[in-house]
Homo-oligomer: A and B are copies of this chain.
Amino acid sequence: MSSNAYSCEQVKHLCALFKLLAEPNRLNILCNLGMECRPVSDIVAATGLSQTNVSFHLRALREAGLVRPERRGAFIYYCLSDSKLLSLLDDMWNWVEQRQMDGTLTDE
């Protein structure tokens, strides 16, 4: 187990990923995307965000390689690059949920 032996560079890479996931709208886009490819307009409708804002977040996710654009006619469909991300998010969420029930967060 290499848990306590991360290099400085490793930490930065991980942080870059966490920074992307740390924005509610962005995380919401990822979760809403799920396994399916969806056009931007769908995401706009699903999230209620402005088109500009959705494009702004999609750009960040795209540049990090988390999502992949796919042109289909006039539409651009966005897809998760790797569905494993969903299970990682699930693991994280389960942990958070467990901690909540254990009352670990309630000391504040």
> Is residue A52 contacting chain B, with contact meaning CB distance below 8 A?
no
Known: A108-B63, A108-B65. A87 touches B3 (CB 8 A): yes
CA distance A104 to B56 in the complex (A): 20
> Is residue A27 contacting chain B, with contact meaning CB distance below 8 A?
yes
Nearest-Cβ distance from residue A65 to partner chain B, whole angstroms: 5
What's the number of copies of this chain in the assembled complex?
A: 2
> Is residue A49 contacting chain B, with contact meaning CB distance below 8 A?
no
Nearest-Cβ distance from residue A31 to partner chain B, whole angstroms: 4
CA distance A19 to B96 in the complex (A): 13
Residues of chain B with a CB closer than 8 A to A18's CB: 18-19, 21-22, 27, 92
Q: Would you list 13 pairs from A and B whose C-beta atoms are within 8 A, ordered by A residue?
A: A1-B86, A1-B90, A3-B87, A4-B32, A4-B34, A4-B86, A13-B96, A14-B21, A15-B21, A15-B23, A18-B19, A21-B22, A88-B91
